Amino acid sequence: MAPPRVLVADDDRDFLDSVVRVTEYAGLEVVRATSGDELLEGLADHGPFELVITDVAMPWMTGLHVMLSARHAGWTTPVIVMSGLCDEQTVRGVIALGDEVSFLRKPFRPRDLYAALARSLRTGVEPRAARRATWPVGEP
């Protein structure tokens, strides 16, 4: 059985590498995107995905704009939104994505990502394994 496929998008390459490392450590197959246009392209050309993990603020188009567009097109894929922003506009955008969404405020710990993965995928992702995983740029 193939592992669940996850699309991860963040324009901060160090943070993207960290999220990808933890996600792969959970046994998931990862496709990367470093901008809103790559996120959109990934959804269109490299799917289907069981989960999308996206930053909000990215070049060209925000992760929220891409995922809201995908929702309007009928995509129901669960989404984990990551952001250092927690302003009213960001909160409204996350809420607009519907029920299948989790929010992680940056910085967060690997175990927080594991817990969000487990909730979003409803699988046996083991949050305790996050204690063994580390961010390559240091624990936030």
Annotate 94-110 with b (16+ C-beta within 10 A) or e (fewer).
beebeeebbbbeeebbb
**Residue carrying structure tokens 């996600």:** 23
Q: Could you state, in order of their start, the residue ranges of all structural domains in the chain?
A: 5-131
Distance from the Cα of residue 32 to its chain's centroid: 10
| Tens-digit pLDDT string for the chain (140 aa) | 788 999 999 999 999 999 999 999 998 999 999 999 999 999 999 989 999 999 999 988 999 999 999 999 999 999 999 999 888 989 999 999 998 999 999 999 998 999 999 999 986 555 444 444 444 444 44
**Angle subtended at Cα 8 by Cα 120 and Cα 87, rounded to the nearest 5 degrees:** 75
**Taking the CA of residue 126 as centre, how many other CA atoms within 13 Å lie in the half-sphere pointing to its CB?**
7
CATH number of 5-131: 3.40.50.2300
CB-CB contact of 91 with 19 (8 Å): no
